[in-house]
Amino acid sequence: MTVTVDEDRYRLLEDLMIDSRLDADSAGRPLAPVPAYLLPAPDQGPIIELPEPAAPRAGLDDVLFGRTAVRDYEPIPITAAELSAVCAAAERMDADSWASERDGGVGLEFYCAAWRVTGVDTGLYRYLPGRDALRRVASLPDGPDAAELVMQSEFAQAAAVLVITGNLAGSLARHGSHGHRLLLSRAGAAAHAAWLAALRLHLGGSVFAGLLPHVLRERAGADGYHRAPLLAFAVAHPAAEPAA
Ligand SMILES: Cc1cc2nc3c(=O)[nH]c(=O)nc-3n(C[C@H](O)[C@H](O)[C@H](O)COP(=O)(O)O)c2cc1C
């Protein structure tokens, strides 16, 4: 029988595998399962279809000069169509401005922590661009416990928080250290597009960077490198100004 070089190599590989299995057996340690936060991001959750983005209720010129960071919110829900408009604005900004980056494999992802959105259960979702839908990725604490998700508890009182993540590993491979700056600029543009869309719906909020990395690592597989949290936007009905 003729043994080809390829078969030879295959046998060598098999022998090596047997050796390494023996190594693992003889080490005799009980093998712990890999912790959930080191597993690939969950991508099996149910899909929730969102309505079409709500149409703007005000012109940009009418609301732009009133834009200010708002951290006090009414505890009332926003609609799913309003959330849809906020997510779509962020996604559109990135798609229109950095198409070549996305074609090159460096996308942004948009996660949505929803607490008070009509028709959307409390939870963490990934926005599915192009189909106005959310995929549920994890549960979220509600009520006073929601504050454990963010550095500033006031942002957990928002109706929803849009969290923007990016592929830092991919961007660095493409651009060197400039890749990090580029991702931050993209996240800034997307978050502010979301903010302007919210203003035009007479909603308010603030961009913020005070995210707790472990929350997204554990719940969305955001390892900080292949999926790095970049910036967030809290959206809600602003609290009424106290009477003077
Ligand atoms: C990149 C970036 C990160 C921010 N991070 C936070 C934050 O972690 N917490 C916060 O309260 N505000 C944060 N902000 C919001 C600013 O604090 C807010 O825009 C600033 O107070 C200016 O107020 P104005 O937006 O009303 O002009 C951030 C803004 C930017 C641009």
Q: What is the CATH number of the domain that holds 110?
A: 3.40.109.10
69 lines ligand 1 (CB under 6 A): yes
Using the 8-state DSSP alphabet, how is residue 171 labeled?
A: H
The percentage of residues in the chain with a pLDDT greater than 70, rounded to a whole number, is 88
Give the ligand 1 atom nearest the CA of 69. Answer: 26
Is residue 31, in this structure, part of any structural domain at all?
Answer: no
pLDDT band at 38; cut points 50, 70, 90: low
pLDDT at 179: 94
The residue whose CA has the least distance to atom 7 of ligand 1 is 208
pLDDT at 146: 80
pLDDT at 1: 58
Residues in CB range of 207: below 8 A, 6 or more apart = 69, 188, 191, 192, 195, 231, 232, 233
Using DSSP's 3-state secondary structure scheme, residue 24 falls into helix
206 lines ligand 1 (CB under 6 A): yes
65 lines ligand 1 (CB under 6 A): no
Structural tokens at position 243? 């009477």
- From 72, 73, 207, 235, the mutation candidate for ligand 1 (largest count of ligand atoms within 8 A of CB) is 207
Is residue 174, in this structure, part of any structural domain at all?
Answer: yes
Domain that holds residue 168: 46-236
Question: In the predicted model, what is the mean pLDDT of residues 7-30?
Answer: 73
pLDDT over threshold 80, residue 20: no
207 lines ligand 1 (CB under 6 A): yes
pLDDT at 97: 95
Ligand 1 centroid distance, CA of 196 (Å): 15
Is residue 208, in this structure, part of any structural domain at all?
Answer: yes
pLDDT at 68: 96
Ligand 1 centroid distance, CA of 191 (Å): 11
The reported pTM is 0.85
Is residue 36, in this structure, part of any structural domain at all?
Answer: no
Angle at 110 (CA atoms; ends 104, 114), nearest 5 degrees: 170
Is residue 170, in this structure, part of any structural domain at all?
Answer: yes
Give the ligand 1 atom nearest the CA of 70. Answer: 26
Q: Which residue has the higher pLDDT, 7 or 205?
A: 205
185 lines ligand 1 (CB under 6 A): no
pLDDT, averaged across the chain: 89
Is residue 5, in this structure, part of any structural domain at all?
Answer: no
pLDDT at 27: 66
pLDDT at 42: 65
Is residue 7, in this structure, part of any structural domain at all?
Answer: no
Give the ligand 1 atom nearest the CA of 71. Answer: 11
pLDDT at 35: 65
Q: Are the CB atoms for 53 and 81 separated by under 8 Å?
A: yes
Q: Are the CB atoms for 124 and 113 separated by under 8 Å?
A: yes
Question: In the predicted model, what is the mean pLDDT of residues 101-129?
Answer: 94
Instruction: Say how many domains are in the chain.
Output: 1
Q: Which residue has the higher pLDDT, 7 or 41?
A: 7
171 lines ligand 1 (CB under 6 A): no
195 lines ligand 1 (CB under 6 A): no
Sheet holding 108-114, edge to edge: 47-49, 133-138, 123-128, 108-114, 160-166, 228-236, 204-208
pLDDT band at 44; cut points 50, 70, 90: confident
pLDDT over threshold 70, residue 92: yes
pLDDT at 171: 93
Is residue 24, in this structure, part of any structural domain at all?
Answer: no
pLDDT over threshold 80, residue 16: no
157 lines ligand 1 (CB under 6 A): no
pLDDT over threshold 80, residue 114: yes
Beta strands, E only, the chain: 47-49, 108-114, 123-128, 133-138, 160-166, 204-208, 228-236
